[in-house]
Amino acid sequence: MKFGDLVMSVASIAVILALIAAPLDIVLVSALGLELTHNVSLVYFLLAPLISGYIFAGKLQEDRREAITKIAVFWGALVWLVVLIVPGASANWGLMAKEEYLTMNPGATLSTSEWVAWEMIYLDVYGFIVVAVALVLGFIGLYIGSMLRKPKKS
């Protein structure tokens, strides 16, 4: 698999994810509520690579595991970049981290630098979980997607 194919595959996963996430979130939030929809949305990390694996099945035929692993690692790197951006875009990220800390440690008081350190730790843990899910479900989705499309016989 060429580097250009690798980039195109990762980009297609991102575009597919963006195109399926919003409509499915809108449908699911009315049925499941906000918090459950957020948890169920992890399925998108399987669905988007599955579709991309199906689209790029021809390119994945030779050295399938190696190509899928490369795509999954690049996908994980892209997800990590997004995870780093999310807290800055969300006004309530720091409040959420603070609320969770105070739930675990009632009555605790921290200095501003300690709150920043806690938020960074919180972001690291969040990033680890999201990237791990993206890697595992990405690999599984790409593998299954590439297996669904049989190679054309010449």
Tokens of 10: 């990762």
**pLDDT tens track for 105-130:** 888 888 989 888 888 898 899 899 99
> Percent of the chain scored above 70 by pLDDT?
97
**pLDDT tens track for 22-75:** 888 888 888 887 777 777 888 899 999 999 999 988 888 778 889 999 999 999
Burial group, residue 107, by CB count within 10 angstroms (0-12, 13-18, 19+): exposed
Contacts of 74 (CB under 8 A, 6+ apart): 6, 7, 10
Q: Where are the alpha helices (DSSP H) in 33-151?
A: 34-40, 44-55, 57-60, 64-89, 93-104, 112-148
Residue 117 CA to its chain's centroid (Å): 24
Kindly calculate the radius of gyration of the chain based on its CA atoms and give it in whole angstroms: 19
pTM, to two decimals: 0.82
Choice between 1 and 122, residue whose per-residue pLDDT is larger: 122
Provide the residue ranges of all domains of the chain, joining segments of one domain with +.
Answer: 3-148
